[in-house]
């Protein structure tokens, strides 16, 4: 099945207790004043939707942003949100394609089997004339069993092996950051980090996979990956600034037919801080 569901599909299931809807909108990094996406959720959200706070649900035992928590911590948080085993989970965001794929990746990486994205997000829901609600939503606690899929996650050590041409994950690293940050000509939004890129990595800004608030169709995605000389038959690792938009690339690869895709959870926020990391710049 496609990773997307339509507004009509979801609208027909609003009263289904086995379907849970999540608003997983993160504010963009480096934008001032900061966008309060939780306040926007409270003002208007899909009926019955709960707020999936990626920042709050990340591992706060590390200074790195948006790192996966422990399975136990994630299971506890999902249970509190009313997300149970075997439920169908539909994730959306308030505009564009940015953070909802990260939420889906987190859920699937911890074992949720039925996780989908609302095609076009809130905008398509509103365009279809469908209802919204305001205010907080609380569901009854549920049982969520979290089991980490280690094949979905890449570590710094694995990245170093890939750069060196060894290891089991292969040498294809796709970077979702902007072309300027990849080249080293534009600054990183997080203070103190050098811009640039990992040796041998491929620049593919995640925005190139998006058109009119939706991911491009499978044929268009395959053509983009072909032009970038990304081999869908070989292992691929996606990376970005903090592991969020790397999930957009991972989603595009999944739709295009790639089977061996992992996400570097630490991404550039971790890599650029490592004393032994080689940073290349295109100037």
What positions carry a catalytic annotation? 240
- Secondary element (H or E) of residue 59: none
Residue in the block written with tokens 């959720």: 41
CA distances for 119 relative to 122, 132, 212, 242, angstroms: 9, 16, 11, 24
CA 266 distance to own-chain centroid? 13
- Whether residue 281 contacts residue 184, with contact meaning beta carbons closer than 8 Å, is answered with yes
- Closest by CA to 257, choosing from 224, 233, 229, is 233
| CA pseudo-torsion sign 77, 81, 86, 90 | negative
Go through 211-249 and write b for each residue having 16 or more CB atoms within 10 A of its CB, e for each that does not. Answer: eeebbbeeeebbebbeeeebebeebbbbbbbbbbbbbbb
Report the distance separating Cα 212 and Cα 125, nearest Å.
14
Give every CB contact of residue 77 below 8 A, 6+ residues apart in sequence: 57, 69
DSSP 197: B
Burial class (CB in 10 A: 0-12, 13-18, 19+), 167: middle
- Closest by CA to 267, choosing from 282, 248, 234, 245, is 245
């Amino acid at each position: 099945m496609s990773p997307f569901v339509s507004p009509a599909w979801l609208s027909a299931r609003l009263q289904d207790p086995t379907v849970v809807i999540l608003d997983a909108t993160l504010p963009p990094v480096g934008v001032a004043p900061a966008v309060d996406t939780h306040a926007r959720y409270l003002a208007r959200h899909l009926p019955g939707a709960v707020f999936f706070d990626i920042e709050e649900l990340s591992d706060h035992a590390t200074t790195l942003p948006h790192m996966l928590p422990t399975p136990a911590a994630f299971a506890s948080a999902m249970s509190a949100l009313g997300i149970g085993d075997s439920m169908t989970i539909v994730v959306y965001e308030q505009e564009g394609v940015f953070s909802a794929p990260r939420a889906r990746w987190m859920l699937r990486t911890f074992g949720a089997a039925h996780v989908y994205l609302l095609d076009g997000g809130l905008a398509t829901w509103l365009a279809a004339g469908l209802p919204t609600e305001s205010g907080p939503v609380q569901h009854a606690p549920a049982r969520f069993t979290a089991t980490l899929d280690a094949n979905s996650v890449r570590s710094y050590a694995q990245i170093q092996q890939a750069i060196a041409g060894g290891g089991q994950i292969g040498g294809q690293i796709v970077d979702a950051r902007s072309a300027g940050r990849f080249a080293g000509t534009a600054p990183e939004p997080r203070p103190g980090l050098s811009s640039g890129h990992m040796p041998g990595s491929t620049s593919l800004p995640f925005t190139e996979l998006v058109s009119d608030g939706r991911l491009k169709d499978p044929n268009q995605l395959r053509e983009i990956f072909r032009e970038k000389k990304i081999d869908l038959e070989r292992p691929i690792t996606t990376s970005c600034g903090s592991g969020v938009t790397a999930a957009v690339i991972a989603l595009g690869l999944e739709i295009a037919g790639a089977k061996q895709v992992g996400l570097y959870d630490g991404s550039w926020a971790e890599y650029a801080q490592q004393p032994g990391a080689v940073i290349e710049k295109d100037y």
